[in-house]
Amino acid sequence: MLATSGEPLRIQLLGPVRVWRDGQEVPLGPPKQRAVLALLASRAGEVVGVDNIVDALWDGDIPQTATNGVHTYVAGLRRALEPGRSRREAGAILTSVSGGYCLRMDPEQVDATLFTRRHARARRSRIGGSPDEAVRWYEEALALWRGDAYSGVPGPFAAVERTRLRDLRLTAVEEWAADMLDAGRHAEAVTELSAAVGEEPLREKLRWLLMLTLYRSGRQAHALAVYTETRQLLNRELGIEPGAELRSLHQQILAGHPRLRREGEAAAAPRPVRRHPGGAPDLSRPVQLPPQARGFVGRSAELAWFEELLDDERCVYGASTPIAVVDGPAGVGKTAFVLELAHRLLDRFPDGQLYVDLCGTGRQGRPLTASDALEQLLVSLGVERSRMPADMAGRTTLYRSLLHGRRMLVVLDEALGAAQLRPLIPRGSSCVLATGRQRFSGLAARDGAHVLTMGPLADHDAASLLTSLCGGRLRGQEAAAVRLVRLCGGLPLALRIAAEELSANPAVPLSAIVERFAAACAERESPRNREAALIRLVEWESGTGREAPAPAQMEMADVRTVVLR
């Protein structure tokens, strides 16, 4: 593939890391030196800092000589990649730039980048209704592989990329096989699917495709044997039965259902029905999103930014779960924002929506542990409690298996921290939206999450929200609206409470209500009182505050007005 290309420099990452220059293979030196090249090649044309290279090579205890080691490895790579360059000459291929290094080459000369782009091209052809073209692009993408990605390369970066690319390749195999079924080319897909099942035996979608492919190739007994093997494996490894799609296909094969012979209809990935024959709801497609906040305004730029990011990531990677996290102080509107975003994304995730309140603020009792949250998610996905794995690892594995290959939206509200969130992030085509008061920088660095810290509403948006919610009470009262907005500090929760007070007291003059708010704010300037009032307010608004003691010498009306400050 690469060795005969005749290009000045080409790099293979989808297998053992290798390099060819002008058709000749280049010796790359020790494993960590190859790891440096692999990292730089994965970001060809970009500057990678020395600290990032150190983190990519060493996991845990980083030696004091790590930085010097990086410089040594780079020097070795320069000698290998540009053998005619003197020591005094600056490198033309591997250059030093502002505290880091850059591999200056076309990213498409790296097979991993070429695979990702061809895979994306295949998906676009598939969506555009060109199945033959899609199959061709899938086959060109899969033909680039020469073994496990980053084979023989040490370090945490290589380990993460190895897993990500492996999942993406298996997704490409699934999509290619579905198109082959659609084209009636069953026998041609059996070998590739059998190899993929051997590599990832717990991936039910691969087994579903293999069973249907064998059946359509006239090998009914082999298709049934795959199901028996799958059932035994899942029972032994996870203590569960095969999913609804596999069970349904098994029954249809036993019955010789005519639908299985209709290639166009049966070729697509299986979709769970919404209701069972008896009329009971089908929990395999949960619909759990709470309603959007009434009168939601503003945040247009942030919503558009997240939509574009999540769409781009879902289109390009597929096997890497897009993650969006919104953090910020209490009352700033994080949950309302995430629910607004979730409802905008519904058409992208037809397999359902999951919602869990992780209780990270403690307002509904103690925060959920990740294991408790997994139990709630698995029950939502139809897992009986009698078959619920008892340990955290078993629940995580089952959860990811059930969501694998499904386009599901997972909303995790009020997270306590990254450690609570990580086990709840599935792999594949789903999407996770989360909120929390803490900064989730670790989730961004390690898991590729997109993080937005939310602040108060802009003045005009705050005024619009207040005016729309108070039933016309502020119509024509611009000065009063501006003053209330400032007293509320642009916090949506405070604005909603102010609107409720205005609507609930139509006989009280507007000026009197505004002055009462202002007087309460001036009287209680203590940050401690404001924080206690806000906590009390959130508890009261959620219906759990009846048992919680109010801040010292403060009535509920006072709590409401303090939070407005």
Task: Report the CATH number that the domain containing residue 326 is assigned in CATH.
Answer: 3.40.50.300
In this structure, the answer to whether residues 438 and 363 fall within a common structural domain is yes
In b/e form, how buried is each residue of 192-217, taking b as 16+ CB within 10 angstroms? bbbebbeebebbbbbbbbbbbbbbbe
Last residue of a domain, one of 105, 137, 167: 167
Backbone angles phi and psi of 381, in degrees to 5: -90, 5
**For residue 540, which of 563, 521, 565 has the smallest C-alpha distance?**
563
Contact between residue 268 and residue 209 where contact means Cβ atoms under 8 Å apart: no
pLDDT per residue as tens digits for the range 266-309 = 333 333 333 344 444 444 568 888 877 776 778 788 888 888 77
CB-neighbour burial class of residue 507 (10 A; exposed 0-12, middle 13-18, buried 19+): exposed
Q: In the listed set 419, 453, 487, which residue is the last one of a domain according to the structure?
A: 453
| Residue 258, both tokens | 């005519």
- Considering the domain architecture, whether residues 346 and 433 belong to the same structural domain is answered as yes
Same domain? 481 vs 552? yes
In sequence order, what are the beta bridge partners of 12? 18
- Are residues 384 and 494 part of one domain? no
Closest-CA residue to 529 (of 553, 557, 509):
553
Kindly tell me if the per-residue pLDDT of 558 is higher than 60.
Answer: no
* Residue 518 domain-assigned (yes or no): yes
* pLDDT reading at 560 higher than 50: no
Strands 353-357 and 323-327, how do they pair?
unpaired
| Interacting residues of 56 by C-beta distance below 8 A, sequence separation 6+ | 35, 39, 155, 156, 157, 158
Residues 20 and 37 in one domain: yes
> Is 411 in contact with 339 (CB distance < 8 Å)?
yes
Into how many domains does the chain fold? 4
Residue 279 lies in a domain: no
465, 298 in Cβ contact below 8 A? yes
pLDDT recorded at residue 175: 92
Q: Which domain, by its residues, includes 259?
A: 184-270
Average pLDDT, the chain: 78
Q: Is residue 415 part of a domain?
A: yes
Residues 449 and 466 in one domain: no
Q: Which two tokens stand for residue 382?
A: 């139809």
* Pairing mode of beta strands 100-103, 94-97: antiparallel
Crossing angle of helices 478-488 and 510-523, in 10° steps, is 20
Looking at per-residue pLDDT, the higher value among 83 and 162 belongs to 162
Three-state DSSP class for 414? strand
Question: Do 352 and 211 share a domain, yes or no?
Answer: no
Domain presence at residue 275: no
Q: Are residues 153 and 203 in the same domain?
A: no
Which amino acid is it at 344?
A: R
Give the model's confidence band at 444: pLDDT under 50 very low, under 70 low, under 90 confident, else very high: low
Residue 11 in domain = yes
Distances (CA, A) of 28 to 19, 31, 34: 8, 8, 6
Among 409, 428, 453, the domain boundary falls at 453
Residue 68 confidence (pLDDT): 93
- Do 259 and 311 lie in one domain? The reply is no
Do 119 and 22 share a structural domain?
yes
What one-character DSSP code corresponds to residue 369? P
pLDDT in tens, 358-391: 876 655 557 788 898 999 888 888 777 777 888 8
Q: Is residue 178 part of a domain?
A: no
Beta strands 323-327 and 94-97 are unpaired
One-letter amino acid for residue 54 of the chain: V
Here the tokens at position 339 are 């629910």
Q: Is residue 281 part of a domain?
A: no
Identify the band that residue 503 occupies on the pLDDT scale cut at 50, 70 and 90.
Answer: low
Kindly report the CATH number assigned to the domain that includes residue 206. 1.25.40.10
Amino acid at 412: L
Q: 8 and 152 share a domain?
A: yes
The CATH number for 128's domain is 1.10.10.10
Return the DSSP state at 398.
Answer: H
Domain assignment present for 22 = yes
SS3 content of the chain, % helix, strand, coil (to 5): 55, 10, 35
Nearest CA to 348 out of 317, 310, 320 is that of 310
Mean pLDDT of 212-231: 90
**466 and 449 belong to one structural domain:** no
